[in-house]
Structure formats: C-alpha cells, structure tokens
Structure 1
Amino acid sequence: MKISLLLPALFALTASAQTLPSTPKRPVVDTYFGKAVTDNYRWLEDMNSPETKDWFKAQGDYTNSVLDKIPGRNQLVETFVAYDKLKPVRYNAIEKRGNRYFYRKTLPSEKVSKLYTREGLTGPEKLLFDPIAYDKTRTYSVSSFSPSPNGQLVTIALQEGGAEVSTLYVMNVATRTFQPEKITAAGWVQWMPDNSSFVYTPRNSMDVKDPKALTDMKARLHRIGTEPSQDPDLFSRANDPTLGIRPEQIPILYLSDDYTKLYGILASVDNRADAFIADPSSLGNATLQWKRLAAPTDSVYSFLKLGSQLFLYSVKGTPKGQILVTDAANPNPSTATVLLPQGKLNITGIVSSKDYLFVTLNDGINDQIRQYDPRTNQWADVKLPLTGSAWLMTLDAPRSNDMILAVTSWKQPTTYYAYNPVTKAMTPSVFNVPATYPGVDELVVEEVEVPSHDGAMVPLSLIYKKGLKRDGSAVCFMEGYGAYGYSATPYFSTLPLAMLNKGVIIAQTHIRGGSEKGQNWYKAGYKTTKPNTWKDFIACGEYLVNNKYTSPTHLIGMGTSAGGILIGRAITERPDLFAAAISNVGCNNALRLENSPNGPVNTPEFGTVKDSTECMALYEMDAMQHVQNGTKYPAVICVGGMNDPRVITWQPGKFAAALQNASTSGKPVLMQVNYDNGHFTEDKAVTFRNFANMFAFALWQAGHPDFQASAQQTEMAGRK
C-alpha cells in the first residue's frame, strides 16, 4: 500500500486530545528605522509572569496528550534503547596526566556518564565520581572535568536538567573527597602549572533566563582552599579598560601547552580571534601587561604554540584557509610566514601533540589530516582508515605524543584508534568498543549537488536503504543548519538509523552559512545574505520532489537552534513544500534575539537592530514576523527547553502561537515544552523521549504507515 492512501486518517488522533490552548494577540508596535513592526506575542517574553508560565504549561500538556496517542512513538523509544544496548560501553573525554588516564564511561543501563581513572592503559579501572549517586534527589550530570597537571586534583562541573550552567567542585583524586569550596555558574577551567590554582570565567548568574548573565563577565584566578568570592578579576572590561572589550564579549584566559605564555581571548560567535598575550609570571600583578596577538581584522581562526613558534590558522585573503608561523614570543600575523598555503581543500582546524602540528582539511564532505614536524620541516599524511569525518584528540600535549584518532561516516559508527605520530602506526584504542547495528550494511550513501535559486550548486547527502523506489512515495527527513560556518560533516547516529530502518530517506543539506565550500560559502549565508540559507534548503527539497525521492505530502524539514531560522523561513516561504516541520530549540523570532540572555553575544553572526541594514536582515530572518493569516501551513512541532541558556523558550513559543492562530490547513501545530532539558542534555532517557516525540509527530504527519491510527482507533476518536 502506498503511504499516500493513508493521508485521510492523519488528523483523527487529535480529536480525542484535550483542547488546544488559545493565545490572545496583544499587539506591540515597534518602529525600526522607519519600518513599523507589530509583535502580537510580546507578552510571552515575560518568563516570570504567571500567565506566561500557565500558557507554556497548557501548551506542553496539550502537546503531550497528542504525542502520547501517536502509534509508533513508544516503539521508537524502545528502538533507541535497544540500539544503545548494542554497544556495551561508551568512552569519551579522555585525558592523560603523567601515566594516569581520566575519562567518562557510560553503560547502556546508565542515563549519564561517570568519571573514571586508571594508571596506564591496562591498569585497573577506578570509579572517581558518579553524579547520580552524589545526590539521588537531583538529576546531575558532569558537564566538564579538568585534571591538574600532576593528576592529583580534578575539577568537576555539575549541571542539572541540561541547563549548561554548572557548579564547580575540586576533588582529591587519591581520597575521592571534595575540597570545601564550590564555585557557582562556572565550568571550564585552565590549571596553572603549580597544581594549586586555575583560571576560569563564571557566568554572572545561575539563572538561564537572567538577561545579564553573559554580559561584562570576568576571568578570575582561584587558589585551592580559598574563598571563591575573593577570587581576583584578571581579565575583564572593568579591569582592562584600554583593551576595548565590549560588554557581550566573554574574556577567557588560558596557557600555552608548555605553560610559558598566557593568552587572553575575547570570545563571541565571531570565529576571528580577538586575542592578547602576556607573561604568566604577571599573574600576581593587579593588572596584566597585555600585548596584542591578533585582532579580528587579522582573520586568525585559531593558534597554538609549539616550541618557539606560534602557528596560526588564518583565512585572511584565503577563503579556504592557510597556516602561518610566527615567533611565539613576539607574534605578528601581518609578518608571519606562510607554512601551508591555500589549496583545493578547506583547512578546518589545527591541534598539536608534544612534537607535532596537525592540520585537518576537508573536501566539502570528507576530512583529511596532515602532520608537520617543526624539527625537520617535513609534512606527512595521516592515512585514515575510511572516508568521512576524522579528528585527533591530544591526551597530554605538553608532555606526550599520545593521541587518539576518531573516525566516523554516515554508515560507520565512531571508531577510536591509538595513533603514534612518530611511527605513524595506527591500532585500535583500548577505549574503542566495536558495535554492530542492524541495517547498516543495507544503507546507500549518495552525494549530489543541487542548483539553488541563483544557480549556486548546493551539496546534498542522501542516505537510504537499498531498493528505494523512486516514485515519490517514500518519507524523507531533510535537515539543515547553515550558521556560524559549521559544516555538516558525516557522522553516525543510532537516532536517524531507527528511521532509516523504517524506509525513511535521510537528507542532510550543506547549505550556505556553513563552510563546506570555504569562507565564501559561509559568508553567503550570513547577516544580509542569510536568505540563501533557507532558499538553498528549499532548493534541496524541490530537487528531492522533482526527482521522485519523495513528494510534498511526505517531506519533513528540521532545523535546530540557529537552524530555527532555516526551517521557520522555509515553511513560511514555501508552506506547500512540506508535510511537517520541526523547529527544535529554534531561533524563530530573530528580530528579538538581542532581548534574550544569549542574544547580544550572537550579534556578530546575525546582526543587530541598532544598525539599519542589519536590522532589516534580522526582520527577513524572523519566521514569526513572516507568518501570514489564512495560509495553509504544514504540521509543525516547536520544541523548547525550560533550562535552555542558548535559545530561550519564548523564541519557539511565539512562533508556535503565531502559526496556531494563522494556519488554515487544519494540520496540528504543537509546542513541546521540556522542563527537564535545556538546549540538549546528556540524560539518555530524556534525549530518547525528546527525539521520539519529534520524529513520531513528523512521521505521523508525513504519512508513514507505522505511525498511523488503525481503523478502530480512528473510529473511536471520531465518536468522542
């Protein structure tokens, strides 16, 4: 039976659900550079208002009442759990200090990882910290950890409910006991070589909804055993008024791998380094003596010190990137020597071990890695075991050449190899645990290029089971991101595998805003050129329909986070192209992004309403502002996490409200509200439920037979 024959029963399930909460329109008119813009749902931005809280609660309850009745939803969760059990143990975040290894380990029966240590690769494993046992009344997970240089102390950052806002503790490794102090709203740290102090940059608040949590932050120094409230401010707008630090820039301190240089970074979403250098011996001074290392105009994406040289990954005048080298003591990007010139492949990153520099390059989809020995000035290729994505993890860069090479592809689960850059030998790592998943051998990977609205050729990756009938009847799940220059490189996940094994086509778009074709590709989906991002996505959908991979009644579109701009504008521009859409923790109200806690730091990527040109670009990106009354929109599920510090819940919430009031298609628009989640979470049980909800809703609306009500269910729903 063709899926299209099941379409008349698509909406019967909602008949037995509770009533969709209504959302009143309360117009607020803003004028931006002469343009009047009406916001009917501004009142939803007050997350402390009882009325707003009640609205989100009612929307979430209604959504759950619908999702709970979708056939196949619970079976999806069971499939995720079953696939997870096929890998008996998972290791990640592996660090080495001397001969002591630190790492996270998760068993299939565990929701979150535990922290372990062992002496040497074959030494007995010891449990260092279990976040669940630490407080069984809370849902803690380890957001990060950092061992001291001698491996005798380790910082452990605990977060709750996927909030990404952590409390930092210091543990004595030998006794597994905590020091008395704790530091709130802190996570990542950089230890000093004395093993008794570290630098860190805390948020201003533990509240993810605090609009000032990420402004005027301060990099501090903490000495073990002292009161955190007395930690000195080393690097900030207040402490360094001559450096031109903006309120939204995040000051971060860290040392070179050999501890001889102190770097200060003013972090934002701008990939270009805004960086300074100082002597670590000046840490005892009231004010550090900073020298400029790289300004944003130098277009240095990253840098690292190796011996007496500083290596720079730069894109200045080279859209595909180049590697420069300069004196580490007195770096100057403008006079640096070109070590690796721009070539056909995109340079995407650099790392180092004790003696070697490694450069990752990409052909738009697949990675290559080259290594460089500064002592001999010799280059060599790292021979990868498969095509796909690859990255090197340095375990103890200042003292060791020990490395782990990780590789994955659309069909290959992530595999760890121990890599020795001296001998170039590659062997399976002791931390690699193979797993065999059903259906993988039956998958086909097809890489094509699709003409967009302006003739640009957009890469599109297709994964599907052998024997696909190109008659338009298959459900297709198409995803895109297109922001910050992030490329959609191949990866393996059991979540889409569950859909692939049900005959669903997975389509990964490589749209402008990513860097698949270099920096020009990124800048062609950025600020004023952002419309290319969703127009490329639409072009990919049209290609899939025109070539009969799928049809508009079976096409699903999904965008996550900044991808909310993509999916929101795709369905408001071409509502007829999609059966269903998912805005997962999506930015759907770009014009108001700066009024959210994480908004100001994102202005380098999307723009600011304070600039007339950028303001109009933000209006064009704003999906909520492009919802038109009386339009037949596809079925939509918006997802928000109440603990999300990146995209505040009212962003997808306002979009859902606008669609519910405007759409005349009769198709459901749901607002899923996660109270135990943030932007994402490590908790597998929450993750599996969240993705099963999104996937089941979309597959139901796209007519997949495993997610349709039976004739009996449809008849019973109609009687109620």
Structure 2
Amino acid sequence: MSNLVNKLSFTMKTNLLLGCLLASLQGLAQPAPLPATPQRPVTDTYFGKTVVDNYRWLEDMNSDETKAWFKAQGDYTTATLDRIPGRDKLIQTFVDYDKRLAVRYGEIKRRGDTYFYRKTLPSEQAGKLYMRQGKTGPETLLFDPSTYEKGKTYMMTAFNPSSDGKKLIVGLQEGGAELSTIRTMDVPTKSGTPPAFRPESITAVFGGEVSWLPDNSGFLYTPNNSMDTKDPQGNLNTKGRLHKLGTAPATDPELFSIAKNPDFGIQPDQYPVMFYSDDQTQVYGYLGTVDRRATAWVAPASEVGKPTIAWKRLCTVTDSVNSFLKLGNRLFVQSVKGAPNGQILVTDANNPNVATATVLLPESKLNITRMASSKDFLFVILSDGINEKIRQFDSRTNQWADVPMPGTGTMGIEFYEAPRSNEVLVYSTSWNDPGTLYDYNPETRKLTTSTFHVPINYPGVADLVVEEVELPSHDGTMVPLSIVYKKGLKRDGSAACLMSGYGAYGISGTPYFSRRNLALLNMGVVLAETHPRGGSEKGQAWYKAGYKTTKPNTWKDFIASGEYLIKNGYTSAGKLIGMGTSAGGVLIGRAITERPDLFAAAISNVSCSNALRMENSPNGPINAAEFGTVKDSTECMALYEMDAFQHVKEGTNYPAVLCVGGMNDPRVIAWQPGKLAAALQAASTSGRPVLMQVNYDNGHFTEDKQVTFRNFANMFAFGLWQAGHPDFQPVGVAKK
C-alpha cells in the first residue's frame, strides 16, 4: 500500500476514533482535538522475520516533534479525565483516608540511643527526617526536603546514619527521577543547633543508597554517568567508587569496574556495587542485574583503599545464590540450586565455598522468599504462595523457632541496629488488615506493640471479604487468584472489577493493605490480584515458567483469571478493568491484544509495551537478563511474542485503554507506553477512547502524595467510567 493511502487510511481512522470519543463526552466543554500521529514505517528483519514499526520516530525524546506529540497527548488526556464525574471525589477520598493516620513513621534506624526516622503528617506531601533520643524522647527535625531549593519539589529517597550516629547521608530526588543527589551532614549534638549539609554533593546515585566505611570517614557508592534519565549511556560502564568526606567527588577513586577488574567478565550493563557486611569486617563486590542469581566477590574490609582489592570469588550465576549475609564467622546463603523452593546453606565466612556449603534449612513445600539477621539471629521468611511466616535461627544454640506473628498475609521484618542489637521490628499486613507494628524480642519470642505503631481505623475494613482461590489456566496449571470485595456482593456480574497483575522478576503478588484500594472497595468495586507465572508464588519453577520463552504463560494466566471472575459472577466483560504496571505492561498489553473482548478497559501504567525495542532504551540492556535479547534468535522471537505494540492489529475492537508514562522515569522510558497508545489509536474500531497520560512531575512512581493521588485517581476514574460505574458517568452520556 502506498504511503499516501496509508496516510489517508490512518487519518480517517483517527478522525473516527476522535469523533467517537468526543461524542462520548458530549454536553461537556470539549478539549482541543488531537492531531493525527504520523506513521513513518521502519522495517527491521530479525533472524528472517520482518517487523514494521510505524512509530520509531517517537523514540527520539529530544526532538521537538516528539515533545510536541507527548504534550498534545497529555493535554488532551488531562482535559478528558478532568471531565469524568467522581474523579475529584476519589482524590478527596484518598486525602480523607490519609488524614485518618495521624502520623506515619518509616525506616526507623537506631545508633546508640538515637533513633532516626522518616515522619510524614497528613498535611505534608512527603516525609521529613527526624531524630530523637530514646524511643519516646523529644524529636529534632534534621531535614525537610520541601525547603531544600525554592521553586523545586524534592523528595528524600534514602537516608543512612553512620555507625556512630554522628553523620548522615541523605539522598534527594527531583520529580520522581530516582537518580539522587547525595548530601552529607553532621548530626547536631546540641539542642537548637540547626543541621546543615556539608559542601560536597554527588549526583546520579540510583535510589541514594551507599555503604559507610567502617571508620565513618566516607562511603562506597556507584553513580550513573548522567542525571538525564533519557541518556542511553547513563547507566552503562558504571564504576564503584570511594568517597572520603571533605574531598572533591571528581577525585573519588574507582575501586570496582570493568577497567579495574578486567578479568571479572563484568558487562557494560551490569552495576558494579560494593557494600560491607553488617559487622563491617568484609566488603563485597556485587554485579547488580535483574538476574536473581548473584555474581559476587568478597575481600577483608581492610582491602578498601588499597590500589587493588584482593577480591575472592564468592558466587556466580551457576551457583544459583539469591542472597547471602554474614553472621558471626558464618556466611548464610539463600540458594535455589537443586531446590526450586529455596534452601539455606552455611559456609565459613572467612573462607567461603558455596559449592561445599552445608544445608542448614532444607527445601520444603514453603517457598523461601528472603532472609535477614540481627546481632545473634537469622530470620527466614517463607511463603505458601500467598501467606508468609517467619522462622528464626539462634546462631549461638543452632536452634530454629517460629516467630509468633498474629494473623496472615505478608510479614515484614526490620532492624533498629543490626548487628549491634537483637531488637527487631516486625509487622504483618493483608488485603483487609492495615497491620500492626511490633517490637519483637527473639530471646523471649515476645511481641509488644511498638512505640512507632500508630492505631488507625479506616471505614469499611470490617466488611471486606477475602477469597484465595486457584483456577485452571490455558494448560491446566492451577493459578492462584486473590479476590477482595465488600460484604453483600451480588454475584450476578453487575460489579465493576479492577484486576491487576505483574508476573516478572520473580516478584510475587503478596497481600498488602492499600487505602486507595479501600476507596474502590467501599464503592462496591471488586479487586482481584492475579498471581501469574513469572512471579515466585510457587517458587523458582513458577518464576521460570513466565520467563523469556515461557513468558506467554504470564498473560495467559491473567486472561484465565479474568475468565474465572466472569464465569463465577464477580464481574462481566463489560465491567472488567485490567491493569499492569512496569513489567506488568507485558501482561496487560498482550492480554488486550490477545483477548480484546475480555475487557471493558485497560490501564497500561509506565509499561514495558514494545519489548523488541527495550534494549534501545537507557534501562533496557540490564533487563535483557529477564526478558531476553534481540541478539539471540530464540530470545528475539520470545521478545516479539511479548511485544504488545507489535501485536496491535488494524480493525480490532479494542477496549478503552489508558497508557501512562513518566517523563522522569529511569526504568521505563515514556516512549514505551507512548508507542502503544499511538498504535491503538490508529487501529481500534471499537469507538472506545485510547488516551496517553503524560506525567511531567513523576517518574516510575513518587512519594509526593498530591501527585500520587491525582495519578491513581485518573487511572481508576478512567477504568470505572468505561466499566459503567454510576459514580463516574457523565449525565446522559454513553461511555463509548
């Protein structure tokens, strides 16, 4: 077909789509119409397979034309969403629920008798950094990110007090970018002394995480090469560095990198990260990738600062080590080698050998999800696929015991001051339980409600019903599904349902309590959390069954979950909203391209939507370990299969779709969901809207409550509008 015919056909379909959308909002003030998106076909051949990309030009995020396209799409979407009744009321509900929690504490860390913590009040958009002497002493404000720089919005990504409690590292981000600027300060020793940052600052540290030197004179860190989240070279060939307080960051020596360690086989897309053991007697060199199997080296802490560190290999991918930690003279290893549900091994920390390590906790029916330690105890969290339990191991007596946690759901464990104390913070949360924060003494196995626990009473929680079921997928495999709804639900298919899924990186959909979800539940919406293959709900085998060439199981499990909900009357196809975020973009994108008839609406949030081109984005190369690479013939075809953008077909009745992209997103660049939106706008003949929400004040996510509330209210309102929820319907106007 000639380019002229292509252009005319595209323009006609675009006008039809826009006409239908505008008709659905008749009677309201109309936003300016969207301009047509030009199609400029680029043809690629992958191992004999020809693939056409009509919107490659959108990948140039620095071009004025691309910027104008995103601006027009974002403005049109904002104008449309602003006209949905119920959206602003939903935002207000989020605010009202937030006010019910008088204060929120987080990341509580003790140094001696000084407690450092993040604290957020309902009136504040983000947390501030405080300290207090003793658990109940008067508190001192150390840092308020809202006052850091006039005219700009900053958040605190992380904070890390030195082991003596005299210094602090603070990570700052702007606009949800996650690439942080590191600042340091001296902790005031006198009441009323205003804290102030030291002169030096270090930019482009992902998440703001660093590791203090044992003598607190500096820290180890690995910066990106650029603060620009769109820089294709920003996170390639990064270097682990050493910073000494009071010195110029530009002179920080390189300790761990491709150039420094040419025999280690470090790849350009791997992050060479250094960190100390909890007792700071050893330093580890770790290659940060999305592969759950660790590649790491170990050396005595005294080696740091020498011209060359005498590294010794600790583990490689073939050892299938998910994590490790040092406790006393032993190194505890979480391994899945020959044990898909996981096992705990132990070896000599001073001369570690994973191959000859002893089995401390053998594999069982429960899946080992993570481990952590205090001064004398190892803690292991195990899961039955949905609900977790915690076991503790006394390193002095070699005895195992269960931590007596009340309730079911997701279990959390944190430490005030590992490895100097056995004082532990534990908590549990579930779909219908906001949770309780406990101080736990592993010596006596006693739980007491923590000073930092703030009681809360949300409306409607007592009326929530939770069902954990299993259903057959396309191949007969039984797949878990969590269903939450308000008591009294009529199983006649009349309820709107928000069904979410992820299914990647071995991350499981563990139970959690969400005030945003509660707002929907109290409006009669059914919530369903899917547990597709690609997570770790049923161990390593479950993860590998939704990985690279087996990735179709992920979206097929999601589809099967939707079919179950419809068949059993929880909802119907005209009421079902599917949602996938980040890597869950593969799940939602392929679900709607394979079964467009199953959904009323879909939310593709900061989504991986164009898998074949992910390696051409700044964060793409490191993710090849999870999804595959176009350089391998088998993996390339798997990438094509999981590419939602490439599976959009002209003349298809697609559901309503809201794509969301963050302009400061360092994980999924905005052209990934943007290209999917462009393709769907051109191809869909259903008359349902396809919108592209563009967040200029957000990245992959943000702590900023105002931005977060608006973002989620937009997504939920769009879905409920299309699902026919009465609170979100313009008067006398159809939803399509």
Class of the TM-score when normalised by the shorter of the 2 chains: over 0.9
Match of 1:286 among 286, 307, 330: 307
How many residue pairs are counted as aligned between the two chains? 709
> In the alignment, which residue of structure 2 is the partner of 1:32?
46
| 3-state SS, counterpart of residue 241 of structure 1 | coil
> In the alignment, which residue of structure 2 is the partner of 1:673?
694
Q: Deviations over 1:670-692 (max 9, x none)?
A: 00000000000000000000000
| 3-state SS, counterpart of residue 661 of structure 2 | strand
Q: Deviations over 1:532-585 (max 9, x none)?
A: 000000000011111111111000000000000000000000000000000000
Q: Is the CA contact 1:162–1:644 (under 8 Å) kept in the aligned structure 2?
A: yes
1:511 aligns with 2:547: no
| 3-state SS, counterpart of residue 185 of structure 1 | strand
Q: Is the CA contact 2:22–2:30 (under 8 Å) kept in the aligned structure 1?
A: no
Match of 1:480 among 487, 501, 507: 501
Q: In the superposition, relative to structure 1, how do residues 8 and 659 fare at CA in structure 2: closer, same or farther (>3 Å)?
A: closer
Between the aligned partners of 1:434 and 1:139, the Cα distance in structure 2 is 30
> In the alignment, which residue of structure 1 is the partner of 2:334?
313
Match of 2:617 among 586, 596, 614: 596
> In the alignment, which residue of structure 2 is the partner of 1:152?
166
Between the aligned partners of 2:200 and 2:38, the Cα distance in structure 1 is 48
1:44 aligns with 2:58: yes
| 3-state SS, counterpart of residue 17 of structure 1 | coil
> In the alignment, which residue of structure 1 is the partner of 2:325?
304
Q: In the superposition, relative to structure 1, how do residues 8 and 203 fare at CA in structure 2: closer, same or farther (>3 Å)?
A: closer
> In the alignment, which residue of structure 1 is the partner of 2:140?
126
> In the alignment, which residue of structure 1 is the partner of 2:76?
62
> In the alignment, which residue of structure 2 is the partner of 1:250?
271
Amino acid at match of 2:417: D
Q: Is the CA contact 1:100–1:117 (under 8 Å) kept in the aligned structure 2?
A: yes
| 3-state SS, counterpart of residue 242 of structure 1 | coil
Q: In the superposition, relative to structure 1, how do residues 303 and 60 fare at CA in structure 2: closer, same or farther (>3 Å)?
A: same
TM-score normalised by structure 1 residue count: 0.97
**Shift of residue 20 of structure 1?**
2.5
Amino acid at match of 2:354: P
1:662 aligns with 2:683: yes
**Shift of residue 238 of structure 1?**
1.0
Match of 1:73 among 81, 87, 109: 87
Unaligned runs of 5+ in 1: 1-6
Q: Is the CA contact 1:21–1:62 (under 8 Å) kept in the aligned structure 2?
A: no
Between the aligned partners of 1:388 and 1:230, the Cα distance in structure 2 is 48
Between the aligned partners of 1:53 and 1:664, the Cα distance in structure 2 is 27
Between the aligned partners of 2:545 and 2:203, the Cα distance in structure 1 is 40
1:112 aligns with 2:126: yes
> In the alignment, which residue of structure 1 is the partner of 2:7?
none
1:370 aligns with 2:391: yes
Amino acid at match of 2:708: T
Between the aligned partners of 1:353 and 1:109, the Cα distance in structure 2 is 35
Q: Deviations over 1:363-419 (max 9, x none)?
A: 000010000012111001001111011111012112111110021000111321111
1:21 aligns with 2:35: yes
**Shift of residue 15 of structure 1?**
8.3
Q: Is the CA contact 1:111–1:685 (under 8 Å) kept in the aligned structure 2?
A: yes
Between the aligned partners of 2:140 and 2:78, the Cα distance in structure 1 is 41
**Shift of residue 14 of structure 1?**
7.9
Match of 1:381 among 399, 402, 423: 402
> In the alignment, which residue of structure 2 is the partner of 1:94?
108
Unaligned runs of 5+ in 2: 1-20
Amino acid at match of 1:257: D
Moved more, 555-564 or 410-419: 410-419
Moved more, 684-693 or 387-396: 387-396
1:631 aligns with 2:652: yes
> In the alignment, which residue of structure 1 is the partner of 2:5?
none
**Shift of residue 136 of structure 1?**
3.0
Match of 2:456 among 435, 443, 447: 435
| 3-state SS, counterpart of residue 230 of structure 2 | coil
Amino acid at match of 2:196: T
Between the aligned partners of 1:308 and 1:206, the Cα distance in structure 2 is 40
Moved more, 278-287 or 678-687: 278-287
**Shift of residue 341 of structure 1?**
0.2
> In the alignment, which residue of structure 1 is the partner of 2:431?
410
**Shift of residue 642 of structure 1?**
0.3
Between the aligned partners of 2:308 and 2:56, the Cα distance in structure 1 is 43
Alignment of 1:492-503 (within 5 A): 492-503=513-524
Between the aligned partners of 2:439 and 2:59, the Cα distance in structure 1 is 50
Between the aligned partners of 1:280 and 1:342, the Cα distance in structure 2 is 33
TM-score normalised by structure 2 residue count: 0.95
Amino acid at match of 2:510: T
**Shift of residue 525 of structure 1?**
0.2
Amino acid at match of 2:98: D
Q: Is the CA contact 1:14–1:66 (under 8 Å) kept in the aligned structure 2?
A: no
1:143 aligns with 2:164: no
Amino acid at match of 1:307: G
Between the aligned partners of 1:464 and 1:423, the Cα distance in structure 2 is 39
> In the alignment, which residue of structure 1 is the partner of 2:181?
167
> In the alignment, which residue of structure 2 is the partner of 1:180?
199
Amino acid at match of 2:173: Q
Match of 1:268 among 273, 277, 289: 289
1:578 aligns with 2:599: yes
Q: Deviations over 1:683-705 (max 9, x none)?
A: 00000000000000000000000
**Shift of residue 11 of structure 1?**
5.5
Amino acid at match of 1:275: A
| 3-state SS, counterpart of residue 115 of structure 1 | strand
**Shift of residue 10 of structure 1?**
5.6
Q: Is the CA contact 2:25–2:730 (under 8 Å) kept in the aligned structure 1?
A: no
Amino acid at match of 2:436: T
Q: In the superposition, relative to structure 1, how do residues 360 and 631 fare at CA in structure 2: closer, same or farther (>3 Å)?
A: same
User: Alpha carbon RMSD of aligned pairs, Å?
Assistant: 1.5
Between the aligned partners of 2:29 and 2:561, the Cα distance in structure 1 is 34
